[in-house]
Chains A and B, each alone.
Chain A
Amino acid sequence: MSRAQVTAGAAEAAPAVAGDKTAGRPGRAPAARSVRPTGRRRRLELALLLTPATVLFTAFVLAPMALAAYYSFYNWNGYGALTSAGLSNYTSALTGSNFQHSVLHNLIIVVLSLVIQLPLSIGLAMLLNRRIKGRSFLRLVVFAPYVLSEAITAVVWYQMLQPSGFVDQLLTSVGLGSQVHDWLGSTSLVLYTLFVVITWKYIGFGIILLLAGLQGVPTELREAAALDGASSWQITRHVVMPLLGPTIRIWIFLSVIGSLQLFDLVWIMTGGGPAEASNTMVTYIYNFGIKQQQYGFASAVAVILFIICFVFALAYQRFVLRRDTEGALTRVVG
């Protein structure tokens, strides 16, 4: 990283020096400017190009975040004056069993994603990477659910999972009638039902990502390993998997953040119920913020969610992704 910065810095410094030197010589100045902008012009350019993004980012990301943090220390019903709440919003959130359960539900989804979705994605991606008949079509089929919006996915699955709906009838018709359950109405089952739908929706994304990763594994390495007498399992385990590492680590990152922020699907399919059995942190926030109009309390929960995601993101970047990004940069610069 540092080497890259040094190189880039040198490139930036060069035109500034050139500009200063040529200032006294009008004859060459226009030519120099046309090739490399002066410091002032460069700053103008930067300002011009960065301002829209900065304004949008500040107005729609930073300011709402700051406001949420501010509201989290007050009680506010959305209409009247703010009344100071101190840290009470935080303490009652953290000690409330419904909030703890919501966090737990998020964690269950995170763990299930890693344990079930990841191996499944890798397996399917390797299968779809082989030269099999109808490969393009299969890839399309697997990826299709990811293209659907979450709301549509939720409504479609919601209808299919109704008692004696499509899923129940399908199970009965293939002789699995004993396996028919109250998919969305059972407090012990609902979270796992939702996880199946989430997997159906997002597995395609993981597969496409991993397929791209697999394309990057040089054939020579496989051939070399095969010549050395490695079995196909050994090639997969010791050649392909290590090279797939960066892709897998990125997928884990996206999957964990996505699981922590899970909302649309759950909200439409169950509303967090029955009996809060499928509440996630965000449905919990929505329930308190929009439905109960306790904006201060909901903001406090939002801040807690933000901290959880932020800490995870930083730690993951620092300890897991660092190797990948460093490697990438060294390759580019070297």
Chain B
Amino acid sequence: MRTFRTASFVAAAAALVLTASACSSSSGGSTNSNASTGPVNLTWWHNGTTDPVKSLWAQAAADYTAAHPNVKFTVDPIQNEQFQTKVPAALAGGNPPDIFQQWGGGQLTSQITSGKLMDLTAATSSWISELGATAAGWQADGKQYGIPYDLHVVGFWYRKDLFAQAGITAPPTTMDELNADVVKLKQHNIAPIAIGSKDRWPDAFYWDYFAVRECSTDVLKQASKDMKLTDPCWTKAGDDLKAFLATNPFQTGFLGTPAQQGVGSSAGLIASGKAAMELQGDWELPTMEGLLPNGTFKSQMGWFPFPAVTGGAGDPTVALGGGDGFSCTTGATAACPDFLKYLASTAVQDKIASQGIALPANPASDSKLTDPNLQTISSYAAKAPYIQMYFDIAFPTSVGQSLDNAVADYFAGKGTPQTIVQSVTNAGSGGK
């Protein structure tokens, strides 16, 4: 699950300590290339530190071992933010884990330069097409370096009760309608849209989506490769954002609001009915449940895609999203890609869907989704001709973070549509 939380200094320090201890405990140099012979131990770093994901992975490992008695696992659930520091350290060191959490995109490209990521192309060529276009996010130069196990799509979550209160009968489909709804909600003293600007990445979702609506799919695909935002559509995205920010659609003090921490966070504001909408990923429901257990919000939640932008060159059905997956390292055996195949099979994917953990990466399991909102998102994603990976992940980390910072600055009134574009081209060419 793609969750973000502020990493504190404490966490960073803990990460260092854990790195040290994890280095000493992970299984070393199992270079056996044959999965069927000899005992194999696979060390597995994933970010499912809480249930239901934690149990799901524990069960998956146990089930795989039951079917392949020679393959054992050392399962190591690790706090999400620690991957930022632990993975570079592990890949630079001599003893990386065999399997680790992989979000694909530009970070994957950076990690490949370590030479420690296993090329999964040959091992996955017979079945990877089952995952459809999703698997492309974990490829680089036509080679498969990771396998996704779920899919994420960003869109507007909204409160049906608050919409009804403000006299809004149907979710907006164009920006004009959205702006009109914002006015209506304000008239009823309801904060129209909640946003967690303190964390910066929620701001980027807006710019990302305006870019997706303004730019043609070809331009989007090219930009992820060369990081040169020369097409005028990129500046138009900033202009759209400027016009949207001028409607003042967010809750009071949104610049200091976190996205997912506490009931005062943007997710908490939606869960407690203090704001009507939020542009967030499909992970919003589990996030809200964590903040407000036993809340009555679930029946009130609805979802609609980011509205169409008049005159934009982008296909209005293109979605913004991403996903979670795993990579194998070069020290792992052939059991590793085989295990990732198992995770992407319906045996595991059905559970991801039926337990409402996320949208399954394997479309064959879509029918097992039970939550009506996840079903809506899933069918939207299935119809989307292209899913643009969030730019902060699609670009190499330095470029993506630079973009997020520039957009966040713009939300706080600093910069221009042009500076957002420059932040990418500048960081993309090695600037700081």
B140: chain A residues within 8 A (beta carbon) = none
Cα A268 to Cα B409 with chains together (Å): 18
Contact A93:B414 (CB < 8 A) given known A165-B264, A271-B200, A291-B401? no
Complex contacts, A274 vs chain B, CB 8 Å = 197-198, 255-256, 408, 411-412
Tally of contact residues, A, Cβ under 8 A: 47
The answer to whether the Cβ of B398 comes within 8 Å of any Cβ in the partner chain is yes
Contact B264 A159 (CB under 8 A): yes
Q: Are A273 and B255 in contact (CB under 8 A)?
A: yes
Q: Which of A124-132, A181-189, A200-208, A320-328 faces chain B?
A: A181-189
Q: Does A123 contact B (CB under 8 A)?
A: no
Task: Tally B residues with Cβ within 8 Å of A.
Answer: 45
The answer to whether A182 touches B110, judged by C-beta atoms less than 8 angstroms apart, is no
Q: Is the CB of A267 within 8 A of B256?
A: no
Q: In the complex, how many angstroms separate the beta carbon of A203 from the nearest chain B beta carbon?
A: 22
Shortest beta-carbon distance from B4 to chain A in Å: 11
When A151-B10, A159-B262, A277-B412 are in contact, do A183 and B256 touch as well, CB less than 8 Å? yes
Given A77-B396, A163-B252, A275 contacting B7 (CB threshold 8 A):
no
Output the least CB separation between A226 and chain B (Å).
Answer: 50
List the B side residues contacting A268 at CB < 8 Å. 6, 8-9
**8 Å CB interface, B249-268 against A:** 251-257, 262, 264
A288 and B432 within 8 A (CB): yes
| Residue from B114, B254, B402, B432 within 8 A of A79 (CB atoms) | B114
Residue of A nearest to B252 (CB): A163
Contact of A293 among B12, B88, B251 (CB under 8 A): B88
Q: Which residues in A have their C-beta under 8 angstroms from that of B197?
A: 185, 273-274
Distance between Cα atoms of A162 and B85 in the complex (Å):
30
B78 nearest CB across to chain A (Å) = 16
Chain B 395-421: CB-based contact to A (< 8 A → 1; otherwise 0): 011100110010011011110000000
The reply on B92 being an interface residue by CB < 8 A is yes
Q: CB < 8 Å: which of B6, B88, B430 contacts A267?
A: B6
Beta-carbon contact of A275 and B414 below 8 Å? yes
In contact, A80 and B113 (Cβ under 8 angstroms): yes
Contact A78 B88 (CB under 8 A): yes
A165-B264, A268-B6, A271-B6 known; A292+B398 contact, CB < 8 A: yes
B110 touches A187 (CB 8 A): no
Q: What is the 8 Å Cβ interface bit string for chain A, positions 161-178, against chain B (1 contact, 0 not)?
A: 111110000000000000
Q: For A81, give the chain B residue with the smallest CB separation.
A: B113
User: A149 contacts which chain B residues (CB < 8 A)?
Assistant: 10
Majority DSSP secondary structure for residues of B touching A: helix
**A274 vs chain B, min Cβ distance (A):** 4
Which residues from 251 to 291 on chain A have a C-beta closer than 8 Å to any C-beta of chain B?
263-264, 267-268, 270-271, 273-277, 286-288, 290-291
In the complex, which residue of chain B has the Cβ closest to the Cβ of A78? Answer: B88
Interface check A294, CB cutoff 8 A:
yes
Tell me whether A182 and B432 are in contact (CB under 8 A): no
Q: Are B431 and A78 in contact (CB under 8 A)?
A: no
A26 within 8 A of B: no
Q: What is the CB-to-nearest-CB distance from A149 to chain B, in angstroms, rounded to a whole number?
A: 8
CB-defined contacts of B112 to chain A, threshold 8 Å: 79
Asked if A54 CB lies within 8 Å of chain B CBs, one says: no
Complex Cα distance A267/B198, Å?
Answer: 11
CB neighbours (8 Å) of B6 from chain A are 267-268, 271
Q: Please provide the chain B residues from 1 to 26 with a CB less than 8 Å away from any CB of chain A in the complex.
A: 6-10, 12
B91 in the interface (beta carbon within 8 A): yes
- In the bound complex, residues from chain B placing their C-beta under 8 Å from that of A164 are 252
Q: Which residues of B contact A190 (CB under 8 A)?
A: 256
Known contacts A273-B198, A292-B401: does B408 contact A297 (CB below 8 Å)?
no
Neighbouring A residues of B92 by C-beta, 8 Å: 78-79
Query: Are B256 and A292 within 8 A (Cβ)?
Result: no
Q: By the criterion CB–CB under 8 Å, are B110 and A273 in contact?
A: no
Does the CB pair B402–A292 fall under 8 Å? yes
Query: Taking the complex as formed, is B84 at the interface, i.e. its CB lies under 8 A from any CB of chain A?
Result: yes
Cβ-based interface call for B199 (8 A):
yes
Q: Is A72 an interface residue (CB 8 A)?
A: no
| In the assembled complex, B111 has its CB within 8 A of some CB on chain A | yes
Flag whether A96 is at the interface (Cβ < 8 A).
Answer: yes
Residues in B with CB closer than 8 Å to A92 are: 431-432
How many angstroms between the C-alpha atoms of A182 and B91 in the bound complex?
A: 43
Q: Which residues of B contact A297 (CB under 8 A)?
A: 432
* Known interface pairs A151-B9, A270-B198; A276-B409 also in contact (CB < 8 Å): yes
**Do B397 and A293 have beta carbons less than 8 Å apart?**
yes
Q: Which of A76-111 contact B (CB under 8 A)?
A: 77-81, 89, 92-93, 96
Q: Which residues of B contact A163 (CB under 8 A)?
A: 251-253, 256
The residue of chain B having its C-beta at the shortest distance from the C-beta of A88 within the complex is B432
Is A75 interfacial (CB 8 A cutoff)? yes
Interchain CB contact under 8 A, A267 and B412:
no
Within 8 A of B (CB), among A106-143: none
| Residues on the B chain within 8 Å of A277, using CB | 412
Q: Is A290's CB under 8 angstroms from B85's CB? A: yes
Is B9 a contact of A162 with CB atoms below 8 Å? no
Give CA–CA (A154, B413) in the complex, Å.
25
Roughly how many angstroms separate A165 CA and B264 CA in the complex, as a whole number? 9
- Residue of B9, B88, B257 with most chain A CB atoms under a 10 A cut-off: B9
Q: Is the CB of A290 within 8 A of B12?
A: yes
CA distance A159 to B6 in the complex (A): 15
Q: CB distance B255 to A185 under 8 Å? A: yes
Instruction: Establish whether residues B413 and A185, one from each chain, have CB atoms under 8 Å apart when the complex forms.
Output: no
The CA of A33 and the CA of B262, in the complex, are separated in Å by 67
Query: Which residues from A are CB-within-8-Å of B402?
Result: 292
Contact indicator A182/B253 (Cβ below 8 Å)? yes
What 5 A-B pairs come out closest when comparing CB atoms?
Answer: A80-B113, A275-B412, A184-B256, A163-B253, A185-B255
Could you list some 17 contacts between A and B, CB below 8 A?
A: A77-B396, A79-B114, A80-B114, A93-B432, A162-B253, A165-B264, A182-B253, A185-B257, A264-B8, A271-B199, A273-B197, A273-B200, A274-B256, A274-B408, A287-B405, A293-B398, A297-B432
Which residues of B are interface residues toward A (Cβ below 8 A)? 6-10, 12, 84-85, 88, 91-92, 110-114, 197-200, 251-257, 262, 264, 396-398, 401-402, 405, 408-409, 411-414, 427, 430-432
A77-B398, A79-B92, A267-B9 given; 4 more Cβ-contact pairs under 8 Å = A78-B110, A79-B112, A275-B409, A290-B12
